[in-house]
Structures are given as structure tokens and as C-alpha cells.
Amino acid sequence: MMKKLNTIDLFAGAGGLSLGFIKTGCFNIKAAVEFDKHAAETYAKNHEGVEILQEDAAEISFVEKIQNKYGKVDVVIGGPPCQGFSNANRQKNGLVSGNNQLVQHYVRAIEELDPTAFVLENVKTLESSKHFFFVCDDNIDEVLRLNIPTREERIAICSGEEPTAFAVGVLQYIDQLERYRMSAKGYTALCTLLKFSKIQKRAEEYIKEQNKKVTKLIDSWDSLHEHFWNADWEKFFKDSKDVISKFVNDQQDYNAYYERIKVLVEVERALERLHELKNNAIDYRQQRTERSITAIADTFSVKDYLEYKFDSLEYAINMKILNAANFGVPQTRERFIMIGIKKEIAGAQEIRLPLPLLQEEQFNTVRDAIEDLEKVETSIQANAPKIPVKEKGTSQLASLLCTENFICNHIVTDTGETAKKRFKALGQGENFHNLDKSLKDSYSLPERTQNTIYLRLEYDKPSGTVVNVRKSMWIHPTLDRALSVREAARLQSFTDKTIFCGPKNSQYQQVGNAVPPLLGQAIAECLLEQLGVKSESSLVEELRNEKQQYRVSI
């Protein structure tokens, strides 16, 4: 019997990728790294014998914690979070995403452990221009040494004539930004006020609902800034207290209030951007007009970084966007997958990724995955006990997923009356935008709501990409209730044996973040074939039935 390949799983989450690799019988998962305590608990519960390192991957010495303990690591798998940067969404996204840095720590693990092969899973947009690193003091030597291509990125620091006139004054005090920035709580409160103030009615409702918070902000106004870079900004900021108070207390002069909030946030946001550029040692050029301040910095794409870095580490690689539905998952989930194999092992062969096993007309559906749960009562308790199973699903997919004589995690969000009315009003395939106007009035900008919000699933199609379906308020195809954690897990191709731990929202989040185990299995079998190892599993055989003809993965 062949010795199993020593494997570690980084950014392991609930362990979907590991489950797919374990299914082949050829990988021995020695350790998994997962910082989130609830996801780590879930992983531990479903992967007996695997050491869970609930640590920050950015702080781990992989040699000390893993190689010195378990010996040579043959394979590294994992999906480091990677956040794209959008200048249009700068209120939420920082310039330098801590998540993006985790990609570099995944690469560091490969560099330290020197495995025979690795698999990197990520968002399908990883190849896009939104995913990049800034050239800074910490990486410029490596960028030059590897000759990684760079390009200029323009970052809007400030826009609008009045905000720009105020913000330009602080540019001569770049080394003292900490002195002039507003307190973090104050800045957050201002951003929240702006968010709910774009429509007068919504602004009035928010102030009424959150009167204590808004009053507290006004009462603490004089302490939000200790120092000002010039008299004009000091006067504008201090006068803003009266403008905001007047609207809050008397609900008059909405336009003056809203315009004041916009300028305050834009100027404070400019300080946040400038501080982040300085704090991360990013070299940039300034471009100014009367209506804007722009920073121009050199960047390099995450995709280019991975290609050039792995080539320097002597790996042959290939990457591709895979759709989980092509591998039996009842969900159209597209993910970026990269496989790397040491050049001395790969030889002249081109690295391959699995070919589709199912075509669109053969995809498994929501019905295949969850119809058998339609009559099973749900609970709103995160720690609800197991439910005995009286009848199991009859579909080919159900035969793979319905592995137990009980159901766990068949829990749902505790739905309010407004949400229930929305549930009842929507048919299969419909979403928030199909609602009557009267059922949208709690949203400040309903026209900007995503199509995945309040989505009622269609039984006879695969679902869309499963995220945190509690936050998205996904609805059961035929019942007027939210989708349960277990149902979401089925859509991700987790078997009923997998039990999720932690609070309800964490369970939903773990499911949404996971790699579908069936997709993981397809990738694992494809990797084994290229390493000359015979898998004990065959996904193509598991998915085959007399009604369908499939292509064999090569």
C-alpha cells in the first residue's frame, strides 16, 4: 500500500477542500491552519486526528510548527482570502487589504516547506485588475529581482471643490497626519450618517431610531478633533456641530445638513487615505486640480506575482476558472484554481486542471440536493439537537449527500414580520427587485440592492453562488422561510455527516466561505493523476447514472 501524501491545509475554514482530498484516500492531512475559532472548531469536529492550528497565518513559522513536527510536507492546499480593490467603494475597502497580504503568506508557506505540489483556490476575479499589491518599501527589491510587471494605479484621495480646498491644506503636514485625524469612532459615526442621509425621509427615520447614538456624537463633537491644520478647516468643523444639531433636533434645513455631512466625510476620508499610504510606505505622486486630489502609485497584479514567484521557486503551474456545477455541485460557483508541481517532477508535461464531468443540461439541481428536507421541521436555535431522518432523498446526488440517519444544523434565522411578507410575495427565481414598492421602503437605496438579496431559489436549476445566505435572505423554493444552514451545506455538496459549530451566523458564514467538497475531490483526483498516484475514488463514477453520459476527467 502506497504511503499517503503528507498534506497541510492553510486558511482551511470548515474544511471543504480537505474533505474532497481525503475522499481520494491518498492524502494524509497532518495539520490545518484556521484563525477563526468557530471554523476551527468545525474543522476539528469533522477531521479526526488532524492538528488544528488556530493561529494567524501571517505569524506562523511553517517549518517550526509543521515541518519540524511532521516531517516533509508533500502537498499544500488552501484558499487565502483575497479582496479586490475598488476605488468606487473606498468607504468600505482600505487601500492595503490585510486579506491580500495573506496570499503572500500562502506563498511563504510554499517557499518554507518546498512541497512537491500545491493547490491554491480563490475568487474567480483573482486574475482581474482589481486584485493587486502596491509597490512599497517591503517588496520593491523582490519586484525588481523577479522583474514583475508593474502599472500605475490612480487613487482618488479627495473630490469636490469644497472638500479639496480644505484637504489640500493638510498635504504639507503628511508626517503629522496622526495629529490631525478624527477619532475612529467619530469617523465611523459620520460615515454611517452619510449612508442613511441620501434621502431625507431615511435620514429622519435613522435619526429617530438611533437618537441616542446621534446625540452622543453631537455631545462629543468638540473632542473629535484635538488639532486642526488651519483656521478655515477648524471653523468649518466647529460650525458643523450647529448645522447637524439643527436638523437632528428640529428636522429642518435638510440640504444644509446633508451637504455638510458630505464635505466632512470626504475630507476625513482623504486623511484616512493619506495616512494609509504613508503607514504602508507606499511611494506615490500627487496630482491636484481645484476639484480633486489624486495619488498615483505603482502596483503589480496578484496573478503576476503568483506566476513570477512560483516560477522562481521552480514550480510548473497552471490556473483556470472552474465551475463547481461541472463537478456535481448543485450550484453555479466559479472559482480560480491553480495547481503547481515541482518542475523536476512535472518534467515536460503541461500542468492540467480537471475537465468538466457534467454539461449544463446535466447539472444537479436544488431539488436534487434538498427536496427531502421540505417536510423536516427547522429550528432557530444554533445548538438544536439532531433530527432523526425518516426518508432520504432519491436523487443520484442525494445518495452521495444523505449519508446519515440524522440531520444536524437544520436551523434558520428568526424572521421578522416584514421579511415574512417579502417571502410570501416572491415566486421561484424572483428577488428583492420583484417586490412591490411598499415592501422596499426600509432600504435607503433599493435600486442598488443586489439581485441575490431575498432570492427565492428555483427547484429545478442549480443555485447561484452560495455566500452567507442568512445575510442575503435566501428563500426556500416552496416554503415561506429562509434557507437553513443544512440546506445551504447541501448546495455546497457537504454530506450530512459534516456538522457545523458556533453561533448561527458563523455557521452560515462557514458554509458560504467553503470550497465544495465535490469540487475539491475533482481537483485532488486530477493532481494525483499527474503525480502518478492512483486515487481510491472516482468522482466520474459516483456521478454517473443510466440517464447521463459523462466525460472522463484528464
Q: What are the tens digits of pLDDT across the range 493-551?
A: 999 999 999 999 999 999 999 999 999 999 999 999 999 999 999 999 999 853 344 33
The CATH 3.40.50.150 domain(s) of the chain lie at 5-148+299-360+518-541
Handedness of CA 100, 131, 31, 314 (dihedral sign): negative
Q: Give me the pLDDT at residue 435, please.
A: 85
348 pLDDT above the threshold of 60:
yes
Q: What average pLDDT does this structure show over 15-36?
A: 97
pLDDT at 235: 96
Of all residues in the chain, what percent carry a pLDDT higher than 90? 79
Cα–Cα dist 525/542, whole Å? 13
Q: Which pLDDT belongs to residue 547?
A: 37
Picking from 178-187, 247-256, 302-311, which range would have the lowest pLDDT averaged per residue? 247-256
pLDDT average, residue stretch 156-173: 95
Biggest CA pair distance of the chain = 80
Radius of gyration, alpha carbons of the chain: 26
Contacts of 314 (CB under 8 A, 6+ apart): 342, 343, 344
Question: Does residue 449 surpass a pLDDT of 90?
Answer: no
Contacts of 510 (CB under 8 A, 6+ apart): 13, 14, 38, 39, 42, 500, 502
Q: Where are the beta strands (DSSP E) in 208-358?
A: 284-288, 292-301, 315-323, 334-342
Nearest-10 Cα torsion for 390, 394, 400, 404: 10
Written as nine digits, the cell of 391 is: 426518508
- Average pLDDT for 194-204: 88
Instruction: Answer whether residue 458 shows pLDDT above 60.
Output: yes
Hey, what's the cell of 307?
506566476
What is the pLDDT at residue 99? 60
Instruction: Please report, rounded to a whole number, the percentage of residues in the chain having pLDDT higher than 70.
Output: 93
Mean pLDDT of 17-24: 98
Grid cell at residue 181: 485625524
Q: Is the pLDDT at 471 greater than 70, yes or no?
A: yes
Residue 313 predicted with pLDDT over 50: yes
Mean pLDDT across 250-277: 93
* 444 — pLDDT class (breaks 50, 70, 90): low
- Cα 176 versus chain centre, distance: 34
| Lowest-confidence region among 44-53, 83-92, 165-174 | 83-92
Name the pLDDT band for 251 (thresholds 50, 70, 90): confident
Q: How far apart, in whole angstroms, are the C-alpha atoms of residue 16 and residue 527?
A: 17
Q: What would the mean pLDDT of 56-67 be, rounded to a whole number?
A: 94
Contact assessment for residue 136 and residue 100, using Cβ atoms and an 8 Å cutoff = no
The residue ranking higher by pLDDT, 512 or 202, is 512
> What does pTM read for this prediction?
0.89
- Taking residues 295-301, what's their average pLDDT? 95
CB 166 within 8 A of CB 266: no
- The amino acid present at 532, given as its one-letter code, is G
Measured in degrees and rounded to the nearest 5, phi and psi for residue 460 equal -100, 25
Nearest to 315 by CA among 110, 534, 113, 524: 110
In which band, very low, low, confident or very high, does the pLDDT at 16 lie, cut at 50, 70 and 90?
A: very high
The answer on pLDDT for 3 being more than 90 is no
Q: Which residue has the cell 467553503?
A: 514
The pLDDT mean for the chain works out to 91
The Cβ of residue 549 has, within 10 Å, a number of other Cβ atoms equal to: 8
Instruction: Write down the pLDDT at residue 445.
Output: 61
Query: In terms of Cα–Cα distance, which of 49, 148, 152 is closest to 107?
Result: 148
| pLDDT surpasses 70 at 222 | yes
Position 480 scores a pLDDT of 95
pLDDT reported for residue 443: 67
Catalytic residue among 82, 158, 408, 501: 82
What average pLDDT does this structure show over 97-112?
Answer: 86
Query: Which carries the bigger pLDDT value, residue 380 or residue 447?
Result: 380
In this structure, are residues 130 and 82 in contact, taking their beta carbons and an 8 Å threshold? no
Q: Report pLDDT for 93.
A: 47
Give span(s): CATH 3.90.120.10, the chain: 363-516
pLDDT recorded at residue 91: 41
For residue 292, give the 3-state DSSP assignment.
strand
The pLDDT value recorded for residue 432 is 84
**What confidence tier does 89 reach under pLDDT thresholds 50, 70, 90?**
very low
pLDDT of residue 437: 79
- Residue 87's pLDDT is what? 46
Length of the chain in terms of residues written: 554
Integer Cα distance of 40 and 38 in angstroms: 5
**What is the reported pLDDT for 486?**
98
- Closest to 425 (Cα-Cα) out of 475, 366, 460: 475
Specify the fold of 5-148+299-360+518-541. Answer: Rossmann fold (3.40.50)
Confirm whether 82 is a catalytic residue.
Answer: yes
Distance CA 334, CA 337 (A): 9
Parallel/antiparallel/unpaired status of strands 151-159 and 292-301:
antiparallel
**Confidence bin at 448 (pLDDT 50/70/90):** low
Between 284 and 433, the more confident residue is 284
CATH top-level class of 363-516: alpha beta
Question: How many helices, marked H, and strands, marked E, lie in the chain?
Answer: 24, 13
Q: Which of 298-307, 362-371, 419-428, 438-447 has the lowest mean pLDDT?
A: 438-447
pLDDT digits (tens, 9 = 90+) for 397-421: 999 999 999 999 999 998 889 889 9
Is residue 135 predicted with pLDDT exceeding 50? yes
The pLDDT confidence band at residue 192, using thresholds 50, 70 and 90, is very high
